[in-house]
Amino acid sequence: MTVELISVGTELLLGNIVNTNAAYLAERCAALGLSCYYQTVVGDNEKRLEEVVRLGLSRSDILILSGGLGPTKDDLTKEVTAKVFGRELIEDAHTRGRIEEYFHRVHSDQVTPNNWKQAMVPEGAKVVDNHNGTAPGLIMEEDGKTAILLPGPPNEIRPMFERDIAPYLDGLLPEGIYSKMVKICSIGESRAETMIADLMDAQTNPTIAPYAKTGEVHLRVTAKASGEEEAGELITPVIEELFRRFGDAIFTIEESVTLEEAVAGLLAEKGMTVTTAESCTAGLLAGRLMNAAGASNVYREGYITYSDEAKERLLGVSHETLMQYGAVSAQTAEEMARGAARAAGADAAVGVTGIAGPGGGTDEKPVGLVYVGCFVKGAVRTEEFHFTGNRAKNRESAVARALTLLREELLKIRD
């Protein structure tokens, strides 16, 4: 069964907003076993939107349209799709009541008249309640074709998709689609794919699909089956084989678990605490760790030491080290980690120093050079990295490598 994604909004075409909805929907549809061959972005123009919808229906079984369901005049998705399906718009009393309730709960002022536009729905459409906004989702079916209309804000579309749309799509498929996500760090994308090339060449059901993330590789194992028990029988041997090949590089097989959660879990499991000392990442590493639930039980305190003076005063990095090797050096990263652990009284510490860019690089120390020092139980391991992205990407990559290095060192601590 094929699905086509249509993202509606002139702001997407102009680049004012990054189209995160398309990436999310494509990944979720793939996980459900739907084939997506086309994605389109179209502005808030009635004629062009109608052309895109008609073309999509001519070549795909399901259209998922996101955006353009709001109260303003340029929100045209519902009106145009209803026209293509030959449906009149009628007021849905249930949706009107929900809109009124939402405004009374969230806003002190009265509902403006244009908001009632969102209560008008195509005749015969299935209405999907929006628990995070006012515009409901809509499902229209006609002659074996389906159009699913979803609101544009990510905090509305994602909960709606998970709660209502994914189960609906799953029910359309002759077989259920079941998957497990194997998440790997410490190993790059190219090497990981090489390590499973034979499995991918021979795959039928289940299949393995690799996804590269910053500092991580995700392998989605997907099976078509009549039920969870059959799916488990298909997926489990593949997961076991991946563990044989990747070992400790696998940090989780749970879709929702992040690398920082895995690291925080290891710290809690071993009864250890951690601190961070950051220069070029300026608190991003601490922020990632604090994203993990329960991180307050293992994270002591953090230090942002951009200047040499701060490195000396807060972390005890020696003046001689800074003068001889420089702030961006393995020696400084090591002393940052040791000093942070000492200052915070923590069992583990990570020190990060580097040149994120765009300026500040030299032939000897180019932009993207980062050193990470990891202190665990009295020993320090320091690694040198060379990243090639922009400033934001270099900092993000440094944080991912720092988390991976910390995890690797924690795994060496055996109970």
Q: What is the pLDDT along the chain (415 residues), one digit of tens a residue?
A: 899 999 999 999 999 999 999 999 998 998 888 889 999 999 999 999 999 999 999 999 999 999 999 999 899 999 999 999 999 999 999 999 988 888 877 765 677 888 899 999 999 999 999 999 899 999 999 999 999 999 999 999 999 999 999 999 988 887 778 889 999 999 999 999 999 999 999 999 999 999 899 999 999 999 988 888 999 999 999 999 999 999 999 999 998 999 999 999 999 999 999 999 999 999 999 999 999 999 999 999 999 999 999 999 999 999 999 999 999 999 999 999 999 999 999 999 999 999 999 999 999 999 999 999 999 999 999 999 999 999 999 999 999 999 999 999 999 997 6
- pLDDT for position 108: 57
Handedness of CA 30, 32, 35, 36 (dihedral sign): negative
CA–CA distance, 243 with 364 (Å, rounded to integer): 40
CA–CA distance, 19 with 43 (Å, rounded to integer): 13
- pLDDT for position 105: 77
Closest CA to 168 of 133, 128, 120: 128
By the 8 A CB rule, do 67 and 34 touch? Answer: no
By the 8 A CB rule, do 370 and 280 touch? Answer: yes
Q: Is 55 helix (H, G, I), strand (E, B) or coil?
A: helix
Residues 6+ apart with CB under 8 A from 291: 258, 260, 261
By the 8 A CB rule, do 349 and 379 touch? Answer: no
What are 205's two structure tokens? 């059901």
- pLDDT for position 107: 61
- pLDDT for position 111: 76
Backbone angles phi, psi at 262, to 5 degrees: -65, -40
Pairing state of beta strands 216-225 and 207-213?
antiparallel
Overall pTM > 0.85: no
Which amino acid, 235?
I
Token pair 């090797």 is found at: 325
Closest CA to 223 of 161, 182, 177: 177
What are 92's two structure tokens? 């849905």
Residues 6+ apart with CB under 8 A from 55: none
